[in-house]
Amino acid sequence: MQFDTSIKPDFLRLTNNNEQAWDFVELFAKWSHQIDDIVDGDKDISDEEIVEMQLAWMMAVSGNPFYQANRAFLMPLLIMSSNAWLDANKWEKSENKVQQCHSDVLKSQYHEVIFACVYLCGGWKSLREFTSLHREYQKDNYYGNVFT
């Protein structure tokens, strides 16, 4: 999976140009995608790439001023999105068609972390505008499980 950085102009506009928030969001999304790729075996990732990403993530969490200032708000979301991702992986392999369908939505729970960053920097109106523009900004988790 790849993080769709086309959201950056709207993100910065609605977060009062908070580059530290963007740095956190971009790295969080890349980290999330790398974990997904490793577990799913979607692409070959070298040991070097894994360690480099993990170190970058640890540095971001420990040193990013935006994250540090908002960690009490963000950490529960990081925990919940990680839990949702694990559940989604089980559901996508389920025999239950409803669980298969819902796994795509559940796996996208990490987007809420991104949306929360918009809220923290720009408030309620910014959040509403951002989600109206980008709730479906990524189809990276879509595996064709949605029935139409």
Give the integer Cα–Cα distance in Å for 144 and 9: 29
* Per-residue model confidence as pLDDT tens digits over 26-83: 999 988 888 888 888 878 888 998 899 889 889 888 899 999 999 999 999 999 999 9
- 120-140: burial string, b at 16+ Cβ within 10 Å, e else: bbbeeebbeebbeebeeebee
* H runs (alpha helix) in the chain: 8-14, 19-40, 47-63, 65-92, 97-107, 111-122, 124-134
* Per-residue model confidence as pLDDT tens digits over 13-30: 999 999 999 999 999 998
| One-letter amino acid for residue 82 of the chain | S
Using alpha carbons, select from 75, 88, 145 the residue that is nearest to residue 117: 75
Band the pLDDT of 1: cuts 50, 70, 90. Answer: low
Q: How far is CA 111 from CA 12, 95, 107, 114, in A?
A: 16, 26, 9, 5
